[in-house]
Amino acid sequence: MNFISTIKITIQNLLSRKGRSFLTMLGIVIGVAGVIIIISLGAGAQSLVLGQVNKLGSNLLSVQPGKSDTSGPPAQAYGVVITSLVNADRDALKVISQVPHAVAVDGQVRGTVTITWQNKSVDTNFLGVDSGYSDAANFTMKSGAFMDESSLDGGGNVVVLGSAVADELFKDSGTDPVGQVIKVKSAALSSTAGTSFGVPLRVAGVINPRGSAFFQDQDDQIFLPLTIGQSQLLGIHYLQMVLIKVDSADNVNQTISDITTVLKQRHHILSDDDIDFTVRNQATAVGILTTITNALSLFLTSMAAIALIVGGIGILNIMLVTVAERTREIGLRKAVGATNSAIMKQFLLESGTLTSIGGLIGIVVGVVVSYLLATLMRYLGFDWDFVISITSVVLAVGVSVLTGVVFGLYPSFKASKLDPIEALRYE
């Protein structure tokens, strides 16, 4: 019965100071909601990263010119031009006896171009590929067909459009892109004779929408023969990447070793310190990105935890003020028989109630905001999962209650130690 009476008194005291109670809870609400939102965003970001890999396949390897350490990007990612990877290297990697688990090998170059059709002009990216691309990449055709082997390896004047590029060029006119001739002009060779008017290419097909992979829009690009990309658009003789599909994820590590052996022999490399290429597994990239998102989530969660501490300090201050305001009440209760323990329990209950209610409101706010953010990310085209971790909810509630207890202890103890006679004299 005493406990029920204490609960009633606690509720009455909090309701009598609605504004103060709300402001006291606000820090807890922000802190708890922040913890839940940040953990949810971290889980969503990781689902996005894993989704990118699933689109490309976990058994894909990329070989890029330039050496890098195990955790950093290749040198060419910093804008350094490296010409150590050439077409003959790609051909050597296609030899079954040297790389037995490779089921598809595709040499690639990429760049930016302006394409025109009639009076329309679109700036986009191009990917120069060879006959291994259709086996290495995951895609389906919306219309037409992908470039055949003779066109790819012979440098035929054909092109395949990503769905976004096709829509931007042809959708308004209602024209079927397949069979149309577009002109492709590269800024890299815009001043070279014969290229200032663009390279004419016949559209062989349009690829179905693929979305983003590793944060690159696969629909906003065009695909053309490697030799055209090298000679007529970029004016280079080397490769920017070789994409290799392995027959099974179990054979990825062995294939990396085989690729390294082949390229070291071809480049006459005796020491690993002199390696001039980088072999990367898609799963390795996922590991790097996951580590980054985990570190960022941990940092932001720490920032949200500071809001909980600030909220706790607010509770400490408010409870100290409350003790001072209710000194006569405390003296009166002690005079009629209330024990130190009862006084302490009442003030602890008040601080615990404030933080518990703030924690529950924070959970609701955190879940709602996380859901809205996940919905927004999906609307923007990202494979973003709405994830609410039970651990984050339990952690948020536990920390909020603990905050109420810890920061309510001193005011409660102070209130319980007041001398009843001195308290009754307090003005």
226-279 pLDDT per residue, tens: 999 998 899 898 999 999 988 887 888 899 999 999 999 999 988 888 888 888
Rounded Cα–Cα distance for residues 61 and 106 (Å): 11
Q: Give 90-121 pLDDT, tens digit per residue.
A: 999 999 899 999 999 999 999 999 999 988 88
User: Residue 207: which H helix or E strand, with range?
Assistant: strand 199-207
pLDDT value, residue 41: 81
pLDDT of residue 201: 93
215: which strand partners?
A: none
Whole-number pLDDT of residue 194 = 45
User: Span 187-214, mean pLDDT?
Assistant: 73
Convert the pLDDT of each residue in 44-69 to its tens digit: 877 776 666 655 555 888 898 888 75
pLDDT in tens, 306-337: 766 776 677 777 766 766 666 666 666 667 66
> Phi, psi (5° rounding) for residue 339?
-85, 165
Q: Hey, what are 145's tokens? A: 């067909």
Cα–Cα distance, 36 to 32 (Å, whole number): 6
Distance between CA atoms of residues 180 and 163, nearest Å: 15
**pLDDT interval class at 2 (50, 70, 90):** low
Is residue 1 scored above 60 in pLDDT?
no
Q: Is 302 helix (H, G, I), strand (E, B) or coil?
A: helix
Residue that wins the pLDDT comparison between 379 and 11: 379
Mean pLDDT of 359-375: 89
Mean pLDDT of the chain: 78
Q: Could you tell me which residue, 351 or 135, shows the higher pLDDT?
A: 135
Q: How far apart are the first and last CA of the chain?
A: 32
What's residue 304's pLDDT?
66
User: What are the pLDDT digits (tens) for 371-399?
Assistant: 998 888 888 777 788 878 777 777 777 77
Can you list the pairs that 247-256 forms with residues at least 24 positions away whose Cβ atoms lie under 8 Å?
247/59, 247/101, 247/102, 247/103, 248/59, 248/101, 249/58, 249/59, 249/283, 251/59, 251/101, 252/59, 252/61, 252/281, 252/283, 254/101, 255/61, 255/99, 255/101, 255/102, 256/61, 256/281
pTM of the model: 0.62
DSSP letters, 20-65, are HHHHHHHHHHHHHHHHHHHHHHHHHHHHHHHHHHHHH-TTEEEEEE
| DSSP codes joined into one string, 303-368 | HHHHHHHHHHHHHHHHHHHHHHHTHHHHHHHHHTT--HHHHHHHHHHHHHHHHHHHHHHHHHHHHH
User: pLDDT-derived band of residue 222, with 50, 70 and 90 as boundaries?
Assistant: very high
pLDDT above 80 for 9:
no
- According to the model, what pLDDT value does residue 193 have? 43
CA atoms within 13 A on the CB side of 246: 24
Residue 427 pLDDT greater than 60, yes or no: no
Q: Give the Cα separation of 143 and 131 in Å (integer).
A: 19
Residue 70 has pLDDT above 60, yes or no: no
Share of residues in the chain with pLDDT > 90 (%):
24
Residue boundaries of the structural domains of the chain: 2-53+287-425, 102-246
Percentage of the chain lying above the pLDDT 70 cut: 71
Q: Which residue has the higher pLDDT, 348 or 123?
A: 123
Residues 6+ apart with CB under 8 A from 155: 225, 226, 227, 228, 231
pLDDT given at position 421: 61
Torsion (CA) 74, 76, 81, 82 in degrees, nearest 10: 30
Region 172-178 average pLDDT: 87
With a cut of 90, say whether residue 207 has pLDDT above it: yes
pLDDT digits (tens, 9 = 90+) for 275-298: 888 888 866 666 666 677 677 777
The larger pLDDT score, comparing residue 410 to residue 177, is at: 177
Q: What is the mean pLDDT of residues 178-203?
A: 75
Residue 72 has pLDDT above 60, yes or no: no
